[in-house]
């Protein structure tokens, strides 16, 4: 791994939180992700199952985590399973964890090799009543591929049909949404790497530069700071490209007079940062660009002022919609008649702001967390309003990451330049 070793207390604490949610006489099993084929004999870069990583800190393939808090033998109440190192495979693919190394990363005392598991697991299953299994329950996207979690669930039901099967996903969704102070430290590291990178870009961007050149600078800066890499596919969208929310071609020339919307974030210790900034390619906002940018910044600050414990995402979104309606009138995007005649299920402001304002952030850039219950202290959210104007071929989005606390929220990106004057000043100094 490129990043410095994380404090195993992160994972020890996470496991304690999970075990506390299990009823008596329960066993819970988590599997690593598959190694997915690419073409020929190649594989996609391995990405660990986020739940398993959250519990163990282990990034290696063919890993399992088993909880059996009521095991009569205390040594086997939490067990980490790793693949036995193979000399030939290591010659081709590199080092695999030894037991001591896995212990140090995870803080788990009992580590066994995968090829020894079957003989141990069956008696544990027979002693348990409930079997908790994990699947990827994401509200945004279904999973139509028979990945390991689903294959394993079917295998267990076939082998042990009379047990009571339970879902780990609801527990993980609840727990992962609330970040510990130790997790916040890792997210802050990803944010700080992103901050340094953005400041470099302000000194790099100029008319004639290609979007992919900016993207290359981002990747270079991340890796030089020990980040794993990008937390997601970076969006480098100049001119009208900025109206495409997930524009990732990053292949066009940045032209004088255009704005460029950049949405990128570093991944450090498998935790994500998520930043959006929109800056003038030539270093100077036009009067109209400044007007729209400051309108977007106003919405960003307004959202930050109301994103607190107790508010629901529905109420939060509705309030921002009300404020956007007022703001869009002021900058000439909406007329009173547009508002009077709007469809309550498709409000007028949605023509210019057609995405959500916030999402959970953590190990996944769109992290686990409920969208139906009130926001709680400990959660981390993005705040990312945007204004997209087809008639003016303009798109602006401003995004920071916020940690929700009992006393309000803390902007983890408060040091990253955001005001028009800050951005222009930092771009001007090199010209």
Contacts of 192 (CB under 8 A, 6+ apart): none
Same domain for 221 and 287, yes or no, is yes
Same domain for 21 and 134, yes or no, is yes
The answer as to whether 1 is a domain residue is no
Which ranges of 94-135 would DSSP assign to H, the alpha helix?
A: 99-106, 117-127
Same domain for 147 and 244, yes or no, is no
> Which domain range does residue 147 map to?
9-176
Same domain for 294 and 375, yes or no, is yes
Helix (H, G, I), strand (E, B) or coil at 32: coil
Same domain for 250 and 124, yes or no, is no
Tell me, what's the pLDDT at 139? 74
Q: Which of 154, 176, 198 lies at the terminal end of a domain, its last residue?
A: 176
Same domain for 188 and 116, yes or no, is no
Number of domains in the chain: 2
The enclosing domain of 89 has a CATH number of 3.40.350.10
Same domain for 76 and 189, yes or no, is no
The answer as to whether 337 is a domain residue is yes
The answer as to whether 4 is a domain residue is no
The answer as to whether 42 is a domain residue is yes
Helix (H, G, I), strand (E, B) or coil at 71: coil
Report the residue count for the chain.
431
Tell me, what's the pLDDT at 145? 77
Rg of the chain over all Cα atoms, to the nearest angstrom: 24
* pLDDT, tens digit only, all 431 positions of the chain: 899 999 999 999 999 999 999 999 999 999 999 988 889 888 888 999 999 999 999 999 999 999 999 999 999 999 999 999 999 989 998 999 999 999 999 999 999 999 999 999 999 999 999 999 999 887 776 677 789 999 999 999 999 999 999 999 999 999 999 999 999 999 999 999 999 999 999 999 999 999 999 999 999 999 999 999 999 999 999 999 999 999 999 999 999 999 999 999 999 999 999 999 999 999 999 999 999 999 999 999 999 999 999 999 999 999 999 999 999 999 999 999 999 999 999 999 999 999 999 999 999 999 988 788 899 999 999 999 999 999 999 999 999 999 999 988 999 999 999 999 999 999 985 44
The enclosing domain of 282 has a CATH number of 3.90.230.10
Q: How far apart are the first and last CA of the chain?
A: 38
CA distances from residue 388 to 121, 129, 306, 366, 395 in whole angstroms, order as listed: 55, 54, 23, 22, 4
Q: How many helices (H) and strands (E) does the chain have?
A: 13, 17
Same domain for 270 and 379, yes or no, is yes
Tell me, what's the pLDDT at 429? 55
Q: Which of 153, 176, 199 lies at the terminal end of a domain, its last residue?
A: 176
Q: Which of 108, 143, 176 lies at the terminal end of a domain, its last residue?
A: 176
Phi, psi of 298, rounded to the nearest 5 degrees: -60, -45
Contact of 395 with 388, CB cutoff 8 Å? yes
The answer as to whether 248 is a domain residue is yes
Same domain for 291 and 398, yes or no, is yes
Closest by CA to 59, choosing from 88, 87, 80, is 80
The answer as to whether 2 is a domain residue is no
Give me the DSSP letters along 295-360: HHHHHHHHHHHH--TT--HHHHHHHHHHHHHHHHHHTTS--HHHHHT-BTTB-GGGGT--S-S--B
Same domain for 137 and 277, yes or no, is no
Q: Give the H or E element holding residue 52.
A: helix 50-56
Same domain for 202 and 167, yes or no, is no
The answer as to whether 233 is a domain residue is yes
Contact of 337 with 331, CB cutoff 8 Å? no
The answer as to whether 197 is a domain residue is yes
Same domain for 155 and 257, yes or no, is no
């Amino acid at each position: 791994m490129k990043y410095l070793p994380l404090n195993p207390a992160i994972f020890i604490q996470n496991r304690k939180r999970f075990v506390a949610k299990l009823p008596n006489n329960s066993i819970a099993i988590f599997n690593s992700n598959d190694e997915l084929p690419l073409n020929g004999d190649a594989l996609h870069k391995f990405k660990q199952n986020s739940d398993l990583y959250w519990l163990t800190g282990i990034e290696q393939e063919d890993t399992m985590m088993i909880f059996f808090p009521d095991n009569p033998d205390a040594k086997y109440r939490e067990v980490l399973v790793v693949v036995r190192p193979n000399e030939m495979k290591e010659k081709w693919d590199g080092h695999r964890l030894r037991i001591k190394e896995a212990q140090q990363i995870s803080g788990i005392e009992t580590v066994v090799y995968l090829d020894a598991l079957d003989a141990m697991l069956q008696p544990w299953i027979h002693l348990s009543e409930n079997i908790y299994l994990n699947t990827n329950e994401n509200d945004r996207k279904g999973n139509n591929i028979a990945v390991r979690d689903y294959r394993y669930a079917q295998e267990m039901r076939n082998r042990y049909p009379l047990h009571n099967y339970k879902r780990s996903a609801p527990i993980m969704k609840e727990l992962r949404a609330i970040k510990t102070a130790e997790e916040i430290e890792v997210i802050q590291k990803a944010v700080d790497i992103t901050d340094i990178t953005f400041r470099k870009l302000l000194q790099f961007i100029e008319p004639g530069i290609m979007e992919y050149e900016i993207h290359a600078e981002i990747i270079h800066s991340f890796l030089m700071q020990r980040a794993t890499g990008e937390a997601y596919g970076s969006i480098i969208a100049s001119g009208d490209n900025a109206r495409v929310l997930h524009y990732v071609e990053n292949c066009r020339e940045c032209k004088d007079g255009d704005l460029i919307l950049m949405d990128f974030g570093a991944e450090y210790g498998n935790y994500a940062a998520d930043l959006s900034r929109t800056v003038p390619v030539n270093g100077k906002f036009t009067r109209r660009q400044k007007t729209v940018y400051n309108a977007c910044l106003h919405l960003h600050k307004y959202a930050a002022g109301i994103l607190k414990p107790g508010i629901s995402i529905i109420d939060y979104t509705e309030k921002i919609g009300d404020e956007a309606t007022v703001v869009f009138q002021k900058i000439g995007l909406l007329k009173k008649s547009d508002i009077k005649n709007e469809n309550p299920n498709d409000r007028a402001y949605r023509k210019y702001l057609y995405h959500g304002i916030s999402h959970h952030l953590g190990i996944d850039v769109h992290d686990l967390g409920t969208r139906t219950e009130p926001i709680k202290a400990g959660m981390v959210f993005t705040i990312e309003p945007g204004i997209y104007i087809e008639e003016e071929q303009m798109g602006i989005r401003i995004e920071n990451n916020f940690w929700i606390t009992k006393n309000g929220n803390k902007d983890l990106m408060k040091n990253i330049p955001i005001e028009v004057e800050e951005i222009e000043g930092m771009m001007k100094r090199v010209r």
